[in-house]
Amino acid sequence: MDFPALGLGTYKLTDPETCPAAVATALDLGYDHVDTAQGYGNEALVGEGLARADRGADEVLVATKLDTDNLGYGDVTETARASAARLGVDTIDLLYVHWPAAGYDPDETLPALDALVDEGVVDRVGVSNFGPDQLETAIERLDAPLAAHQVEMHPLLPQRELHEYAVEHEHRLVAYSPIVRGRVADVPTIVDVAEKHDATPAQVSLAWLLAKENVTPIPKSATRAHIRENYGALDLELEAEDVAAIDGIDRRHRVVDAPDAPWNQP
């Protein structure tokens, strides 16, 4: 399967009815990618949504992420199988290292990912929230190609260095929090572009990301209206001047942060 242009994020979707309904709705509307994580506590609910949808899970790229407590070799291989069982899939299409936390050791974690690929438990591997040096090490150590790097990315955090790296090394940059949890509606440049195209600010933010090479946004939404609205970004073609105007926004905001995150290290 080619890497889909747009995905559904499921962070904090833990309600036993809302989460499966959102996943099934997204897939039935045409989404080809669903993203979750062991740490979200909703893999089984995402699996229920996959089972409810009119499309088979084999038509969708299903991604999950290893919890920071599960990065030792044995923990990686054991918990990945448990994730597959909860998701109701034979093979996890994409398995990420969620964070390069204290338990992350490239010599332990990455060989385990390779073993899972060799055994058919996982199809593709990725990393998330890595710094450039950690990313380079992962690419060097993995036998399997690095398929994706998932990071926060949006007009207020354009991630230019990591994007250039993704294009150079031919992996996907998967953008979480792509509409800044609604804050794009407060950015005048984005509002102006939205009014110009009779679109919403969320659609403009997503379309800006979609216009970037090798970028896949994964907006989270729990309601059918917002899931449909976000999907409409695929039909919004921004003009070069629109993209340039958004590229020129100098306001910066990071939604997800932590003192030990790679970008906060000296």
Catalytic residue IDs:
40
For residues 124 and 91, is the Cβ–Cβ distance under 8 A?
Answer: no
Q: Where are the beta strands (DSSP E) in the chain?
A: 8-9, 33-35, 61-66, 92-97, 122-128, 146-152, 172-176, 215-217
How far apart CA 161 and CA 85 sit, in angstroms, is: 36
Angle in degrees, 0-180, between the axes of helices 106-119 and 73-87, rounded to the nearest 10: 40
Q: Report which DSSP code applies to 2.
A: P
Tokens, residue 187 = 């950015």
For residues 106 and 75, is the Cβ–Cβ distance under 8 A?
Answer: no
Closest CA to 21 of 58, 54, 55, 46: 46
> Residues, the chain, total?
266
DSSP string, 142-167: -SSPEEEEEEE-BTTB--HHHHHHHH
